[in-house]
Each structure stands twice: as C-alpha cells, then as structure tokens.
Chain A
C-alpha cells in the first residue's frame, strides 16, 4: 500500500519533469522566432495603388527564413483557350480547387537550397508543392495537371497575385541574435479580405519554427461607400450613374458651343 503510493508519486514527478523539460526545450527552439508588420490593416481609399509593408522579426542564428503570404484557400474557375477550327477561343471551364487567390513567397536564399522537397510539400511552400496540393478538374492525367498548373501560375503572376522572390529577406546579426526583415510591395490587385503571413524558420532542410501574422485589407471612405451602393442599391446607383453622365455630356457640349 505504502509502496504503491510511492510509485504513483514517482510517476507523477517524472511526468511533470519530462513535460516541463519539453516545454523549456521547445521554448529554446521556438521562443526567438517572431514576426511583426508595420501595418496589419491596409485601407483602400480613392487613391490606393498598392502598399509597401515592412515585415521583420527575430530568428535563431544559422537558420533561413521563408515567408508565405496567402489568402484563404478557395476555388477558381477559369476558361481554357483552345483552338476550334482556325480560331482560338474560350472552350471548357477548368476548376482549380484549394488554391489561394494570393500567394507570395519570400526567402533568405533560393528556396530549393533551403528546404527539402518533403518539408516543402508538407508546408505547401513553392509552386511544385502547391501543384501537388491543389486539384484541377476535369483532367485525365498528371501531365495535363502539370501543364494547366503552369498556365494557372502564369495567369496569376500576370495579374500580380502570385510571385516568388528568392533572396528578398535580409538578415542582420545583433549580438547573439539574428534579425530578419523584408519590404514587400503589396499588390493593388489583391481584393479586400483577410491575408495570412506565415514565417518558417528552416535549418538543415527542415522547418524548426513557425509563426503567423495577419493583414486585413479593407475598403474605406468613398471606395467603400461607392462599392456598397453598387452592390446593395443597384437601381439608384444605375440612375445616378446615368444622370451624372448626361449632365457632364450636355454640360461639355454647352461649354464648347459658347467657346
């Protein structure tokens, strides 16, 4: 009886010790990695043309940093351009699933040199990993998926919503600590919504730390009022648009008549 109580006590002490050791060690491994942005809210006003965001934080010396900026996953329907007779035209519809509308990747060095394929796939870092992660329908074989994924990336890069910038994160040593920082050109094409900044700390090809921050893009003032009216009060918006156009049109012809 006495013996068994002693055993129970010993187990409890061991478990507690192991747990606290794990907690402390994990603290050593991850505590230093953090992220801060100089603005977490981007307001779209009438003169908005994208923004410039400074993102920085602490990391462990001797590690690489990969930063992924994405919007929530969704589906995207695009028309395939195919040749019908002699004409190129939009043919069937392709559905891309589990794709973010925005996908920007920044890193301290070339991504292939920093992270192993397996780790990249696990965290969906880079286009090859994304290609495996998403699905495209309707397609018959992997080669076709690969071909349309490449076209999808081309389409997104052309509209400024996808991009991979290797070597754009710089690091500076500060005593025993290391600071990383980068300035990203936030694309004006990114629509209002919530975006996620994920920072990965990578050592020997493996992700050893991960932290997140969010950026929200919101319409403000005139842009918000006009957008809301167009969507919620279409009839009034249409009548106003027509009336103002008529006034300007007749007004300018009167100005020219006098001149």
Chain B
C-alpha cells in the first residue's frame, strides 16, 4: 500500500516505512540510541528530501523514546537525576555547537571538519568499546575475576576531587554534579556540529566515564532523547515546516513496537554481549560513513 506524504510531496510504500521504524525502534530499545544517523540516510534513499527526513525522524523518535523510557522506568532503569544534569549540559552544549558551526564556517572547509567528525567519532568510540569488551571477555575466560575493581586511572581520580560531589543512587555512583553537566556540554556541541541527537556518543560516555550500569545507561539515554526529539520536532515544525506527520506516524507505529521488543531483548542479554553488539553497530556506522565519503558517487549533484 502506498501513502502520499503531504509535506515531503512524494509517495512511499507503507510496509517499507513500517519496517524502517521497527528496526530503528529495536535499536533504541536495545541500546538507548536514537538512530538519527540511520533514519535520515535511509529516508533519503526512498526519495524524501533531507530536511524532511531529519525532522520526521525526530518526530517518530518521540514515540519510540516515550515507549522505551516508560518501560525502562518501570524496570527501574532510568536515573532521572543523572539524566537531568546531562540534559542541562547538552542544552548548553547545543547553543555552543551552533556558534561552533558558525566559527568553522568562517574558517572555511567546515564541511570537511564535520565529515571528519562523522568518521572519527564512531570509529574511535566503537573501536574503544570493542577492545574493552574483548579484553574483559578474555579475562573472564582466563579465570580472572572480571568483576574485580579496576585500577582507577589518574584521570578518574582527579574527577573525584571536583567540587559538588553527589550520589546517584539509581546508577550506584558518586560524582561531582559538574561532571555530567560538562560531559553533556561536550556531547551537545558534537551533536549540534554533526546534526544528530548524539545518543551514540552519550551512551559510551555514561558507560565508561560515569561508570553507570548498562541497563541504566540505556534507560537514562532514552529519557534524554525524549526531550531532545520533542524540542527538535517542535522547532522544525515551527520554523522550517519540515515535519511530515504522515511519514512520522507510519514510522512511529513500527518504532514504538520495536522499542518494546528491544527493551525485552536488552534484559535477556548480559552486559558484555550488549556492549559488543553496540560496539559493532557504532563501528558499522563509522565504516558505512567512511565508504560513502570515499567511494565515487554515481550522480555528482545533490539537493
């Protein structure tokens, strides 16, 4: 069945869009990522203009992240306190990010630097996660106690000396309140420069720098994404008129169901398996972007 999209001004196969939604929802329920880096290119391949693809992708993510957040919250996997600090940070970071783009543009070849971050960030983050997960699996196989407290690095020790130390009971960690705000700012800047929600940067940061348990990371990340995508949807609808609700509605029916399936699956897998799968996903995204950027395009013009 085909449906005509009133804002994108094109017609799409409903089943394909539903399938795209289901897959994106599955990934977000499983890993706590928004999937913006996947939705936009897929929708563009289906003939939807890039701005409409990004805005409608954010609109459907409102449903997927609401669905995922609710279920993860019921399971006790959402750290609202941590989430709030990170949100404040990423909000401030988003403002800085917009200025950062303006500065980059003024310096020239801004696009090149943006593309470089697109390749380098997923490859470094995914590579690090993969190496870390493989190492802990090897230790477990050699009979070492994988759960033994890791030696704290100098960097982490210095974080403990920051002011405003506070407990995050849900995550079972104690950090300076400044830490999540600063990390949130960094993610916000990067996300604004790259034009994505930043879930795939935020998740590894919560895992490795804030030492949060993986299920709480997923739930808290979805909680944050919910706010980000609501903001993006409203601004896109209000200022650019680029939200196609017909498109979003088909996708979000799929993605809300997908988010439930993903959440159920995340309980079945253990932390190491989840980390390896997520590392694979992030690496695959990096490699896909790298190949897209280096292979000759078949058509040398774009919108």
Which of A's residues lie within 8 Å of B, judged by CB?
44-50, 78-82, 84-90, 94, 148, 151-152, 154-155, 158-159, 188-189, 191-192, 219, 222-224, 226-227, 230-231, 234-235, 237-242, 244-246, 248-254, 256-257
Contacts and interface: CB of A to CB of B under 8 A. Distances in A.
A17 to B, nearest CB: 56
Contacts of A227: 6-7
A159 B7 contact: no
Interface stretch (B82-90, B127-135, B186-194, B239-247): B239-247
24 contacts: A47-B1, A47-B2, A47-B4, A48-B4, A49-B2, A49-B11, A79-B301, A80-B300, A82-B300, A84-B111, A86-B293, A86-B294, A90-B111, A155-B301, A155-B302, A188-B10, A230-B237, A234-B237, A238-B238, A245-B63, A245-B252, A246-B62, A252-B253, A254-B70
A89 B114 CA distance: 11
Interface in B19-70: 47, 59-60, 62-68, 70
B158 interface: no
Given A237-B243, A252-B67, A252-B256, A88 B60 contact: no
Contacts of B68: 253
Interface string B95-123: 00000000000000101100110000000
Interface stretch (B175-183, B212-220, B228-236, B272-280): B228-236
Given A78-B302, A88-B294, A257-B71, A245 B59 contact: yes
B297 A81 contact: yes
Given A223-B6, A230-B241, A241-B233, A88 B297 contact: yes
Contact of B112 (A89, A230, A239, A250): A89
* A contact face: mostly helix, strand, loop, or mixed: helix
B159 interface: no
B243 A248 contact: no
A24 to B, nearest CB: 48
A242 B230 contact: yes
A81 to B, nearest CB: 5
A247 B252 CA distance: 11
Contact of B300 (A49, A151, A226, A239): A151
A226 B6 CA distance: 6
List the 4 closest pairs (A to B, CB-CB), nearest first: A238-B237, A249-B66, A249-B63, A245-B62
A71 to B, nearest CB: 13
Nearest to B65: A249
A226 B115 CA distance: 35
Contacts of A222: 6
A240 B141 CA distance: 53
A38 to B, nearest CB: 21
Contacts of B2: 47-49, 188
B281 interface: no
B64 A249 contact: yes
A78 B301 contact: yes
A169 B297 CA distance: 35
A225 to B, nearest CB: 8
Given A81-B301, A249-B256, A234 B238 contact: yes
A235 B7 contact: no
Contact of B6 (A154, A159, A219, A250): A219
A245 B60 contact: yes
Contact of A48 (B11, B60, B243, B252): B11
